[in-house]
Structure 1
Amino acid sequence: MFEVLVFVYENYWRGDACPEPHALERKLSAHGFEPDEIHEALVWLDGLNVAAQNVCMPAQSQLDWSPEPSAGSMRVFSVAEQDKLGADCLGFITFLESSGVLPAALREIVVDRAMAAPGDEVCLDALKIIVLMVYWRFGHEPDALILDELCDDAEDRIAH
């Protein structure tokens, strides 16, 4: 499924530029993706659209990406979320949020879509794709440093 999502991200500039599900299904099939992968991705994208409709976000030019939730608030992850996401993914979500690039409303969509991903666990690379897809759906392009963090393979990095 994640290969299909990457293809969609790379080929459609914004979520609103993506064709309707039936047309997208034909295009994905023409590019050689397996029917079950296409179906999983389309169901996942439909869930992303539903989640996005329930979030009231300001216009792109007015987005406040500050890390300041309401005073004294704290997000506690359920046991199911902890099991599915693991320490690496939860740490990455916290990093993005504390860096001011993932507002609480988008964090909740990221967690929701990660929980909807197939399999028992979500690896960090899959979570990064999910974050990119959430940004994509809202038409937000992360700045270059965050985009590098989302697209870079950390295993190839050399510690100094």
Structure 2
Amino acid sequence: MFEVLVFVYENYWRGDACPQLQQLGRKLSAHGFEPEEIQQALTWLDGLNLAAQNTRADDLPSEERPLPLQSADSLRVYSVLEQDHLGAQCLGFISFLDSAGVLPAPMREIVVDRAMAAPGGPVSLDDLKIIVLMVYWSVGQEPDALVLDELCEDTLGRLPH
């Protein structure tokens, strides 16, 4: 599924430039992706679109918002299920982005939601980085250059100091 998401990210510069899911499915099929991968990715993207629309509702007047905004002083506590599915490395990376001020709380919640919707066992850090990129993509924002570098860089060759 993540190969499909990378393809979508690389070929459609913004979420609103992406074709409707049915048409996107045909294009992905024409590019040789497996039907099961395509279906998983389309289902995942549909959830992402819904979550991004709810985030845009934050721009509405307070009486029209579906949920209250989080306080800057709030603390995110992860459930046992979230801890198990995300793992320590992914939770640490989300915390790093959050503390650096580059992943606002509404976007963080979309990242966690979409990571929890990812099939399979614990989410790998590389897959989480794809999810973060897709969340930025879906809300029509581009991460700044340093964040983009952190999300796209291959860390296997990096030596800690």
Same fold (TM over 0.5): yes
1:10 counterpart residue number: 10
TM-score for the superposition, normalised by structure 2 = 0.90
**Residue deviations 1:92-138 (CA, integer Å, cap 9, x gap):** 00000111100000000000000000012100000000000000001
Which secondary structure state, in structure 1, belongs to the residue aligned with residue 44 of structure 2? helix
CA-CA distance at 1:57 after TM superposition: 4.4
Gaps of 5+ in 2: 60-69
Equivalent residue, structure 2, for 1:26: 26
Letter in structure 1 aligned against 2:101: G
Deviations 1:54-106 (A, max 9, x none): 22345xxxxxxxxxx62541100000000000000000000001111000000
Aligned partner of 1:54 in structure 2 is 54
Equivalences for 1:8-157 in 2 at 5 Å?
8-55=8-55, 56-58=57-59, 70=71, 72-157=73-158
What is the SS of the residue equivalent to 1:54? helix
Structure 1 letter corresponding to 2:124: C
Is the partner of 1:86 in helix, strand or coil?
Answer: helix
Residue identity matched to 1:45: L
Tell me the amino acid that sits aligned with residue 97 of structure 1.
D
Q: Distance in 2 between matches of 1:72 and 1:147?
A: 26
User: Please, what is the CA RMSD of the aligned residues?
Assistant: 1.1
AA aligned opposite 1:113 = R
Q: Which runs of 5+ in 1 are unaligned?
A: 59-68
Alignment coverage as a number of residue pairs: 150
Cα 1:100/1:36, change in 2 over 3 Å? same
Cα distance in 2 between the residues matched to 1:27 and 1:76: 40
